[in-house]
A = this chain, B = another copy of it.
Amino acid sequence: MTRQHRGMKTRHLIVRTAAEVFCERGYHGTSTTEILTRSHLTRGALYFHFDSKQQLAETVATVPAELFVPPDGPVVLQCLVDFSLAHADRLATDVVLRASMRLSAEHGSGCSQDAALHEVKLRAVLLRLLQQAHSAGELVPGADPLEVTDVLMGFFTNVQPYWAKTTADLTHRLATLWRYLLPSIATAELLPRLRLHPGPAPQPARPGPGEEATVAMSGSVG
């Protein structure tokens, strides 16, 4: 292993351990001492790579731009559903991404400016897709792109207090939320074609309250 390779490994270890502590305790509750204890590194090793706790938090908080690129497809709402579920899945499995979300939501954290990136970028992607779905005639009248974005962001920012350690059901929870939201958002023509499981081949949507509600409502009107 070359010295450069060892250096990169150490840097990754520091970032990952810092992310774990930020996730559990937030910016103010995190000490570099705790990071050193958990990573079994010396203070010298940490300060070789990072100037301060703040610089470390800014590194953790900066999310790669490609994570905010939604998939392409003929139905915009499906792209939105797929993107949101994939993002939830990444949050469930990637502690650094989860920490960036927590730092992003934390007012008064030492890296508030950079940390706002995750939340601001995620909101921008969701809103843009909903506006495109609206333009494409995929939304029912009255479904407001801004309001739906707020509801979805409520879900994503809620990751922070709850899933500091165990996030196994995060994607499942978002799929549940979508099942209850889609009947208020998607047109009746589109609704049965939307699927809540990622994958290339379109499948019929899982039977949920949305569809059954549709049937019940139609029945009572007719």
Interface residues of A (CB under 8 A from B): 24-29, 102, 105-108, 140-144, 147-148, 150-151, 154-155, 157-158, 160-162, 164-165, 173, 176-177, 179-181, 183-185, 187-189, 191, 207-214, 216-222
Contact = CB atoms under 8 A, between A and B. Distances in A.
A217 B189 CA distance: 8
A208 to B, nearest CB: 6
A126 to B, nearest CB: 14
Contact of A207 (B107, B140, B142): B142
B217 A180 contact: no
A222 B221 contact: yes
Contacts of A108: 24-25
Contact of A157 (B162, B180, B218): B162
B142 A209 contact: yes
Contacts of A107: 24, 164-165
Nearest to A169: B150
14 contacts: A25-B26, A141-B209, A142-B207, A147-B176, A148-B180, A150-B176, A151-B176, A154-B177, A179-B184, A180-B184, A180-B185, A184-B184, A187-B220, A188-B216
Contact of A150 (B26, B173, B189): B173
B209 A144 contact: yes
A51 to B, nearest CB: 22
